[in-house]
Chain A
Amino acid sequence: MFDDFIIRAFAAGIGLALITGPLGCFIIWRRLSYFGDTIAHSALLGVVIAYAMNFNLIIAVFAVSCFIALSLLFLQKRTNLPDDALLGLLAHSVLAIGLVLLGILSFIRIDLMGLLFGDILSVNITDVLFVWIGGSIVLIVLILIWRPLFAATVNLELAKAEGLNADLANAIFTILIASVIAISIKIVGILLITGLLIIPAAASRNLSSTPIQMAIISSVIGLVSVVLGLQTSMIWNSPTGPTILAIALGVFILTLIPLKKLLISKKKIELSN
């Protein structure tokens, strides 16, 4: 029999995997993997603020993440620096500010390991609700902005020229990433969230030939990784978040090896027919 906390862990993990699938695809398509890291780094500041003001963790992290994301959009327009330099600037300066605050406010005690790597087994029912309600909202919004966002991903000028509101879609997308990172802090932690966004999507790329296919398969791979990862971590008593990612990496490796051979033999069959 499963204990309650195990069921909560499964519920939270599965919910998270379903959202990170399609979002991760966009992160890969738009070459934003470092952006996920930046937002995640800045989450520490949100956590410190939440503890200092005795405020809801997820909302505080979300607010800080949004602020950082919008700062990036602002800096992109105002400076001539390349994106990766701006992201590096934001990521580490905000992380530094978070650490400085943490040092000054000495009454705050934060489980730093839990923050960095998450602890899916400690999620409570509120966290699960945040994942499922927040996640549903994120998914619905993503579906609503899919066309302009995807068109802008393929070619920004083309999307703008033909009357799509690409700038708005980009800004909303940024906020979606911020929310997913806020939701996931407790589950996989700051250091690993980018992995959960990118690894399933990367594995999915090897299996799919259309964008929507890639988004869906990515969710499925995330889901499989969460389920197998949770079970494995219970058997081996290993840290859960890292185990989930290790399983996802395993799936990625699996998608690399046999597929090309399969495709070739499939083509041979087609040719012989």
Chain B
Amino acid sequence: MNKSLVELNNCGVFRNQKWLVRGVSLKVSQGEIVTLIGPNGSGKSTTAKMSLDILKPDEGTNTIKKDIRISYVPQKISIDWSLPLRSIDFVNLVTKHKTSEINDALGITGIQHLINEDVRNLSGGEFQRLLMARAIAKEPHFLVLDEPVQGVDYSGEIALYKTIQEIVKKINCGILLISHNLHVVMSQTDYVICLNGHVCCSGIPSSVIKDQEYIKLFGSNIDPTLSLYKHNHDHHHLPDGSIDKADKNK
């Protein structure tokens, strides 16, 4: 029944004399949302790239089921200014779709009116929605979302996460999600992997938040059902409006 689409087995990537990430094992199956969380530089994107086989692991094995459709929403993408590219061309980038399919996908992410707009005229949030629309239009079996809602406004963010859940139900795909929104992660995903150069802890959300390793990284005072994302500032704002780095005071 629950066939796994992608499996990483004790994978690691070694670059420039250090391990970017090591000892990662994960499995994404049909109809399942697996989330990676962790601080900056903890190897989330690297792990996602191994699951897509863009990066070959230097140790361990990555297995991707054959002949599955894969969609990828990368964390950073910039379109060269010399490229004349409309939203519709971008959706058609890897696979050609019918106009009705493109309209549907753009409609789901709320940017149907921008179908013929030049991609460079889109705002950051609109472009993020376009990336999502392109990924959805393919009706993938396996979908990798690397911080898919960055730059999207607050209400749009919630709507997009809802969309993600709906997609899983509708096309029954497996999703590997990288997100900073712990509220969303804890309430809407099936399995959480907490990374910090290695797998700190993993499991279903309700067990992960009780894990000591998780508490060390994210603090214990997060009630995932209602709290906002808490974070520590590394700087102070001085009365005159300038910024004082907290590190300097140490």
For A, the interface residue count at a CB cutoff of 8 angstroms equals 24
Binary per-residue interface labels of chain A (171-182) against chain B in the complex, 1 for a CB within 8 Å, 0 otherwise: 000000000000
Give complex CA distance A164, B69 in Å: 11
Query: Closest Cβ of chain B: how far from A209's Cβ, in Å?
Result: 5
**B85 interface contact, C-beta 8 A:** yes
**A108 interface contact, C-beta 8 A:** no
Q: Which of B205-237 contact A (CB under 8 A)?
A: none
**A76 interface contact, C-beta 8 A:** no
B93 touches A151 (CB 8 A): yes
Query: Closest Cβ of chain A: how far from B231's Cβ, in Å?
Result: 29
A210 touches B89 (CB 8 A): yes
Query: Closest Cβ of chain A: how far from B142's Cβ, in Å?
Result: 10
Query: Closest Cβ of chain A: how far from B69's Cβ, in Å?
Result: 8
Provided the pairs A158-B77, A211-B89 are in contact, do residues A205 and B72 lie with their beta carbons within 8 angstroms?
no
Q: Which of B49, B84, B85, B89 touches A157 (beta carbons < 8 Å)? A: B49
**B133 interface contact, C-beta 8 A:** no
Q: Which of A155, A164, A214 touches B84 (beta carbons < 8 Å)? A: A214
**A56 interface contact, C-beta 8 A:** no
Give complex CA distance A83, B96 in Å: 32
Closest Cβ neighbor of B89 among chain A residues: A210
- Which residues of A sit under 8 angstroms from B90, Cβ to Cβ? 154
Query: Closest Cβ of chain A: how far from B37's Cβ, in Å?
Result: 21
Q: Which of A131-174 contact B (CB under 8 A)?
A: 147, 150-151, 153-155, 157-164
B83 touches A161 (CB 8 A): no
**B54 interface contact, C-beta 8 A:** yes
A158 touches B94 (CB 8 A): yes
A208 touches B77 (CB 8 A): no
Query: Closest Cβ of chain B: how far from A214's Cβ, in Å?
Result: 5
**B242 interface contact, C-beta 8 A:** no
A154 touches B72 (CB 8 A): no
B74 touches A205 (CB 8 A): no
- Which residues of A sit under 8 angstroms from B80, Cβ to Cβ? 29, 31, 153-154
Give complex CA distance A159, B93 in Å: 9
Give complex CA distance A162, B69 in Å: 7
Q: Which of A195-250 contact B (CB under 8 A)?
A: 205, 208-211, 213-214
- Which residues of B sit under 8 angstroms from A153, Cβ to Cβ? 80, 83
- Which residues of B sit under 8 angstroms from A159, Cβ to Cβ? 93-94
B84 touches A154 (CB 8 A): no
Identify the A interface with B (CB < 8 A). 28-29, 31, 147, 150-151, 153-155, 157-164, 205, 208-211, 213-214
